[in-house]
Structures are given as C-alpha cells and as structure tokens.
C-alpha cells in the first residue's frame, strides 16, 4: 500500500526531533564530564598528586602536656621540660642499617640506643615514628636538620619529658614516669591510642601512677603533607589535645627536704601530719633515689646499686614498711583497759622486772623492775609489766578493736604505691593465718607492740593525730586536682572518754618533759613548742643481747611518736629508724628536729627551742645537713662523643 506523502513527512520530522534531543543530551553529558575532568586534572592537580604519591596526607597524634604537680604552697614538684629528639619512620627508609650508621657520624648514639630503636621498629607499625635519640643538644638537632636530604625518614622533633626538680625529696611519694611496657598494657587494659606511641611516658609508681588518668590528658591530632621521602612539607590542620590536670599535694617541700636531709645515713622513715585536717605535710623514706634517672633510662650499674643496697632505697618505708610498734602501742592498750573499766587512772601495779604466765617469764626491759606503777608512770618510764597485766585483764579482742579505732590494721586510701594494711591481730585472725589457737602469751606480747602487731609509719602518725585531738581524722595527700578541691576527711569524734584521752596525753607529756621520761633528752624549751610523745624499741630477734654486739641488720628498730604544741596540737610525727637501737637515742632526736621545723616559719628548727646546754651541738648538726639551696637545677644535655 502506498503511504500518504503527508504521513511520511510527519514521520521524518519526529525522527529528526528525537535525534536532536538525544544528541543534545549526549553533548551536555560530555560537556559536564569534560568540565569535571578539567577540575580534577587542572584545579585539583596538586592535591591529587600528593595523594597519589603513596598516601602522602598523614594523620598524627599530638601527645598532650602532662599535668604538673605542686606542693601545698605552689612550689613545683614535677614539671615538664622541653627536649630535642630524633625520630625515624621505617616506611620511609630504604636501608635502615645504613641510616643508623650515618646517624652515628652526626650525633652521639650508643649501640644500646640503636638496638632499642630496632626493637621498637619491629614492634611498631611502619608508619609510626620511633625515637632513636632523646635529650639532644641544639647543635645535634641542627646537624640532623642540615643533613636532612640525605636522611629519608629521619626528622628532629621537639617534645616534653618529665623532670623532678627536687630530685630524691619526693621520689617515694610522687614516683616517676616511664615508657609503656607490654606488662603495663596487660595489667591496665588501657585502650588509649596514645599508649601505642613509642616511648610515651606513663606513671609507673606513686602519685604519677595512681592518678595517671588525671595527669595524662587527651591527645590531639594533626594532618600533614609529606613528600615522597617522608619529609613533612606543611601542616594542613591541627586539633590541640586536652592537657592533663595539675595536682596540688598537701606536702610542704621545705619540710620534706628537711626530713630527707635529717635521715641521711640511716634506713628510716618520718611522717608528719596536720592533726586538724589530716594533711600529710611530709612523708620521708630514707635513703632515697633520683627519679630522673628512671625517666631518662637508668643504667644497669645505677639500678644494681639501688637493689643491692641493704638500706633498700627503692622501698617506700613510710607506707609500705611494717614494723612491730613496740612501746608506741602502749597508749592503745591503756585506752582499751580504761574504756573497758578494768583499770583506773590512779591504780598501781607492781613491776618486779617480769611477769610469769603459764610457766613462762615475760620480762620488762628494766630487769630490775620499776616498782609500783600507775598509768602516768608506766608510760613515762615505759614499764612493760604494767601492760602485761592490762593485757590479761582486757584481752586481745578489745585491744585490737581500739587499735583499729586509731587507724592501725587499716589500709588508708592514698594515691601511693603498696600502701600496707598492717596487723591488729585477733584470735580468729591467728587461727585463719596459722591454724593455731590464741594463747595468753600472745596477748602480753601484743600489749607492748610486739608479737603479731605490725604498723607502718603512716599508721602510727594517724594514731598519734587521733590521740592528740580525739577526732577520727583521715590522712589526705592530694589537696586539689585541677580546679577540684579535695575534701578533708574525718569520721568525727572517736566516742572515747575525754578524761581518758586527756590522761594519756598528759602521760605522753611527761615522757618528754619529766626527768624520768624516756625522751627527756629530746625535750624543748618554751610552751609554744612543747612536745608530747612516746619512745619505742621493737625487737627483731628472739634472743635478747646488746645491740652493740650484733650486726646492724639484727639490731632493734627505734621508734618515736609525738605531737606539738602540747596545749594546742598542730602536727603529729612518727619516726622509725630501722635497726637504730633505742627509740630515745635514735628516733626521738629526729622527731624533735622535724616537729620544730614544722612549727617554724622558715622550715628550720629555731635554736632557742632547744635546752641551752644542747644548742652548740644542735647548731653544728643542723649546719651539716645536706640541704640544697636550689633544688630546681636542670639536667645537662648529653655530651658529644
């Protein structure tokens, strides 16, 4: 059939219109595609060239500044110092050993440092920067910078490292920081990515470790451009981290320095506590050590010298050491008996030099006996037989209950390492521990602070503060974290008879201020600095022989506890001198010096507070103390080889 010419013409027009529309769409698509290609190839060429060169846009963590630590007056205890270091990124290094060899020609590098860097590189991601050398001088850093083109993957950096300007004064309290170890990660299960940064420092012991989360802060990050050889070209963006919180401790750095200096030459511990607030104003353990050596990497020689020292400088004796409290425990036994009503203040007990129980003799330190003793005389002269009798009357359960009231046998909540609990023994305790029944002899030994009774110098200071005030004050070490003040902790009045407490304090006064008192040689002059206290000597061997006749490690421990001023107590002190012999000769003189220093305005004991006959000798002793006029010295940078 022939088509109508009109229909044919219409069909051609429709086909032409569709073709034009399809062609226009194709042209428009091609134009858009061409425009996009031009944008990517011309306008964004530089950015994509960098991205094409093996992912040359890099994201790095920015370690936060660690929080600072100050004493109660705002003096620096732990700070951060700026250091120069050299880092290497294995992914950007063609020949690692050749790079190490070249570095050794430019800066002082030991084989130990190089091996440490090798180990970290093997354990780390290839794109992670590993520190090769730290604490370099500016000249060394400049040498690296000048030779940068020949050292691909190597770059100098400026960082922060911990510094303890008081060296050993606060070593046992504040502790120190060190690199993150596998053991640390396993124990803490901390997932902070900062910990994977090679040689990142975390608290290892003491306050640094216990308050690590507060001190560490939070990491920031930065985006940088690097070239094909790993050299940073420019920083694209940066987000600063959150610095760690600053800490203010209750310690007084001047008193702390005096305490550490006063213990030089002894294996000892001294704790000073503000009886009104519970603030620990000094916590000393001697001998001490320089924590800066652990931050920088202590040598095997220095570490061996510390661990092999018989005086145990690494041990924190103030909170970790446990000792039989000896006669410093007698106030607890006396209060237990007074509160139970089994003895009166004026009642006398005869001391013949020993007490016989179950066919066994329990001797007084004075083998000749003290005669008739009342409460006051028994504490003043430290008669053992008086307390043997009290122990038989009151029993171990009430003695132990009173001990716990005064903070003995309790682990005090402080941010320090290895805070010990001590022992306030009971019948059940002995059976659980040794599967043995309690006997009367155990009670007699406990009554004079021997046998199973164990206490730390911290606990003895808490006990003395509570004796001085009648308040169940709790020890406090941290005054402020960041902007948050830490509360003073107290359980309120102890619920004991004020009369009984007053009698105990009066007897402690005679210990120092009566001619018959065991600490009379360590008395003071002037009511505003009058000391009340109690000496103690605890045996470390069962056979009684003279201390002069046995080696140092077999001699008795010397103890003293006291408070001052007597009429208006401000500070309590406890002193333990390991194997020091007698409390009256070794511990009481230390305690007097420290209490007078705590009460003075300039941190040194005033000579006029000593008896006139002693002042010349005291002046010579104080002058010889190794006190540094400036404890804020900076450690030197490493010497060039």
pLDDT digits (tens, 9 = 90+) for 317-335: 999 999 999 999 999 999 9
Where are the alpha helices (H) located in 328-482, listed in sequence order? Answer: 330-340, 375-380, 384-394, 396-405, 427-434, 440-447, 457-469
**pLDDT tens profile 551-594:** 888 899 999 999 999 999 999 999 999 999 999 999 999 999 99
| Tokens coding 456 | 């730390």
Among 599, 561, 363, 584, CA closest to 468: 561
Q: Which of 54-58, 85-89, 216-220, 460-464 has the lowest mean pLDDT?
A: 54-58
Q: Which of 46-60, 197-211, 231-245, 299-313 has the lowest mean pLDDT?
A: 46-60
Radius of gyration, alpha carbons of the chain? 36
**pLDDT tens profile 514-548:** 999 999 999 999 889 999 999 999 987 666 667 77
How far is 258 from 625, CA to CA, in rounded Å? Answer: 8
| Tokens coding 510 | 């005679």
How far is 154 from 103, CA to CA, in rounded Å? Answer: 9
Q: For 102-115, what is the mean pLDDT? A: 87
Neighbours of 293 (CB within 10 A): 17
Dihedral over alpha carbons 126, 129, 132, 135 (to 10 degrees): -170
Among 536, 556, 538, CA closest to 547: 556
- Does CATH place domain 253-303+315-623 in 3.40.710.10? yes
Q: For 131-141, what is the mean pLDDT? A: 85
Whole-model pTM: value is 0.86
How far is 218 from 198, CA to CA, in rounded Å? Answer: 17
58-249: what CATH class? Answer: alpha beta
Among 608, 247, 285, 579, CA closest to 417: 285
Neighbours of 92 (CB within 10 A): 22
- Residue pair 470/490 in contact (Cβ under 8 Å)? The answer is no
Q: Using CB atoms within 10 Å of the CB of residue 85, give its burial: 0 to 12 exposed, 13 to 18 middle, 19+ buried.
A: buried
How far is 148 from 151, CA to CA, in rounded Å? Answer: 5
The pLDDT score that the predictor gives to residue 140 is 87
Query: Which sequence spans correspond to the domains of the chain?
Result: 58-249, 253-303+315-623
- Residue pair 467/574 in contact (Cβ under 8 Å)? The answer is no
- Residue pair 387/448 in contact (Cβ under 8 Å)? The answer is yes
Q: Is the peptide bond before 565 cis (omega within 30 degrees of 0)?
A: yes
Residue 89 has pLDDT above 60, yes or no: yes
Tokens 């830490």 sit at which residue?
A: 486
Question: pLDDT grade, residue 640 (50/70/90)?
Answer: very low
**pLDDT tens profile 161-179:** 999 999 999 999 999 999 8
Contacts of 457 (CB under 8 A, 6+ apart): 269, 270, 271, 317, 318, 319, 321, 323, 574, 575, 576
H helix or E strand, kind and range, residue 328: none
Q: For 461-489, what is the mean pLDDT? A: 97
DSSP 8-class letter at 454: B
**pLDDT tens profile 246-298:** 999 999 999 999 999 999 999 999 999 999 999 999 999 999 999 999 998 88
Contacts of 438 (CB under 8 A, 6+ apart): 396, 426, 427, 430, 431
Residue 313 has pLDDT above 60, yes or no: yes
Q: Using CB atoms within 10 Å of the CB of residue 393, give its burial: 0 to 12 exposed, 13 to 18 middle, 19+ buried.
A: middle
Contacts of 320 (CB under 8 A, 6+ apart): 417, 418, 419, 420, 456
Question: pLDDT grade, residue 88 (50/70/90)?
Answer: confident
Query: Can you point out the beta strands (E) in 510-587?
Result: 532-538, 557-564, 571-577
Residue 54 has pLDDT above 70, yes or no: no
């Amino acid at each position: 059939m022939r088509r109508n010419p009109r229909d044919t013409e219409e069909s051609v027009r429709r086909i032409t219109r569709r073709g034009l529309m399809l062609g226009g769409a194709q042209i428009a698509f091609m134009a858009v595609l061409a425009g996009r290609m031009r944008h990517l190839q011309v306008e964004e060429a530089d950015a994509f060239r960098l991205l094409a060169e093996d992912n040359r846009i890099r994201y790095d963590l920015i370690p936060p500044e660690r929080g600072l630590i100050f004493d109660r007056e705002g003096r620096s205890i732990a700070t951060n110092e700026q250091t120069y270091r050299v880092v290497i990124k294995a992914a950007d290094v063609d020949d690692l050993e050749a790079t190490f060899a070249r570095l050794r020609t430019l800066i002082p590098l030991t084989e130990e440092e190089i091996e440490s860097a090798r180990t970290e590189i093997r354990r780390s991601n290839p794109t992670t920067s590993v520190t090769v050398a730290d604490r370099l001088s500016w000249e060394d850093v400049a040498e690296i910078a000048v030779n940068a083109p020949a050292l691909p993957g190597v770059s100098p950096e400026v960082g922060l490292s911990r510094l303890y300007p008081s060296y050993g004064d606060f070593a046992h309290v504040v502790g120190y920081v060190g690199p993150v170890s596998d053991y640390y990660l396993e124990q803490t299960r901390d997932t902070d990515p900062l910990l994977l940064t090679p040689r990142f420092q975390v608290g290892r012991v003491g306050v640094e470790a216990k308050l690590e989360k507060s001190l560490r802060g939070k990491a920031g990050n930065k985006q940088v451009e690097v070239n094909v050889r790993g050299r940073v070209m420019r920083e694209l963006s940066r987000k600063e981290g959150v610095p760690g919180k600053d800490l203010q401790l209750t310690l007084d750095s001047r008193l702390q320095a005096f305490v550490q200096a006063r213990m030089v030459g002894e294996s000892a511990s001294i704790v000073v506590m503000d009886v009104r607030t519970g603030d620990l104003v000094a916590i000393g353990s001697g001998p001490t050590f320089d924590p800066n050596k652990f931050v920088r990497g202590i040598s095997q020689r220095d570490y061996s010298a510390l661990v092999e020292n018989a005086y145990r400088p690494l041990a924190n004796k103030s909170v970790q050491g446990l000792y039989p409290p000896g006669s410093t425990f007698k106030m607890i036994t006396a209060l237990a008996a007074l509160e139970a009503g089994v003895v009166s203040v004026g009642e006398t007990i005869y001391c013949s030099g020993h007490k016989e129980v179950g066919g066994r003799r329990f001797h007084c330190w004075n083998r000749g006996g003290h005669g008739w003793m009342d409460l006051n005389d028994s504490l003043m002269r430290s008669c053992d037989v008086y307390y043997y009798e009290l122990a038989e009357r009151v029993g171990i359960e009430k003695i132990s209950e009173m001990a716990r009231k005064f903070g003995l046998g309790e682990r005090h909540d402080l941010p320090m390492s290895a805070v010990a609990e001590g022992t306030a023994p009971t019948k059940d305790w002995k059976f659980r521990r040794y599967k043995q029944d309690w006997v009367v002899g155990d009670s007699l030994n406990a009554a004079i602070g021997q046998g199973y009774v164990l206490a730390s110098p911290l606990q003895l200071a808490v006990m003395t503060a509570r004796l001085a005030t009648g308040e169940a004050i709790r020890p406090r070490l941290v005054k402020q974290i960041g902007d948050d003040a830490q509360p003073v902790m107290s359980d309120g009045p102890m619920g004991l008879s004020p009369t009984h407490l007053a009698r105990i304090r009066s007897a402690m006064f005679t210990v120092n201020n009566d001619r018959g008192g065991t600490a009379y040689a360590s008395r003071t002059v002037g009511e505003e600095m009058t000391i009340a206290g109690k000496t103690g000597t605890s045996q470390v061997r069962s056979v009684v022989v003279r201390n002069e006749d046995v080696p140092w490690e077999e001699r008795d421990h010397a103890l003293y506890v006291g408070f001052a001023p007597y009429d208006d107590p401000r500070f309590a002190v406890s002193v333990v001198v390991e194997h020091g012999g007698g409390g009256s000769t070794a511990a009481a003189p230390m305690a007097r010096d420290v209490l007078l220093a705590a009460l003075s305005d300039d941190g040194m004991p005033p000579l006029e507070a000593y008896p006139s006959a002693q002042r010349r000798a005291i002046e010579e002793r104080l002058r010889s103390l190794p006190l540094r006029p400036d404890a804020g010295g900076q450690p030197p940078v490493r010497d060039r080889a």
